[in-house]
Structure 1
């Protein structure tokens, strides 16, 4: 598999994962996602979950459907989104909130290291060259 194809597969897979996550925000995993909303967010937790779900669906769709001209921009927006929601992962760890099978401090701590991977993935899979 050449580099261009690998990036396309990675980009589409990430987009699909975001779409799935967004749909789960709006449906079956809404309660679990509320556990990740930091208390410092000035919106109702339910609203934050719904808004972030819509944003994930939009970002995921953009990663899947955007043309080559705009892919790098979409990747940067996705990376910024992953960075912006990272405090939710920290809040889940700090407040010892169980969700998504993250029911121990160790599991919640290890989860923190996956967010930089998502940022890198969004940037690398959309970078031109």
Structure 2
């Protein structure tokens, strides 16, 4: 988590991680239970993936381990997949 995230959300870093995880679950549930809203949920998911990208950059720059990302190479590769996730969220939820 970027250091500035705790100031913006007024949560500690663990709270931000828990909140973003809960949001991910809610988005997944929405994709399954709201089929008529898939396009809108897909756009929200793409926005979510975009919003967490600064945290991924900070994790790479500050060499922070987490979620199996324990080398600079793994953290760097993830950065290149983030735009793929954004595109996939939009593409897979279009009608």
TM-score, scaled to structure 2 = 0.89
C-alpha separation in 2, matches of 1:99 and 1:113: 17
Q: After superposition, give the CA deviation of every residue in 1:92-115 in whole Å (9 maximum; x if it has no partner).
A: 101101122222212111110111
Partner of 1:19: none
SS of the residue corresponding to residue 124 of structure 1 reads helix
| Structure 1 moving runs of 4+ over 2 Å | none
- Partner Cα separation in structure 2 for residue 40 and residue 107 of structure 1: 24
Structure 2: give runs of 5+ residues left out of the alignment.
Answer: none
The partner residue of 2:77 within 105, 110, 125 is: 110
Greater Rg over alpha carbons, structure:
1
1:48 aligns with 2:12: no
Which structure has more helix as a fraction of its residues? 2
Which ranges in structure 1 are unaligned for 5 or more consecutive residues? 1-36
Distance 1:72 1:51 in 2: 23
RMSD of aligned C-alpha atoms? 1.0
Which shifted more, 104-113 or 75-84?
104-113
3-state SS of paired residue (2:48): helix
Count of equivalent residues: 91
Partner Cα separation in structure 2 for residue 66 and residue 55 of structure 1: 15
Query: Where does 1:38-77 land on structure 2 (aligned, <5 Å)?
Result: 38-41=2-5, 42=7, 43-67=11-35, 69-77=36-44
Q: Counterparts of 1:18-37 in structure 2 under 5 Å?
A: 37=1
In structure 2, what is the Cα distance between the partners aligned to 1:82 and 1:102? 17
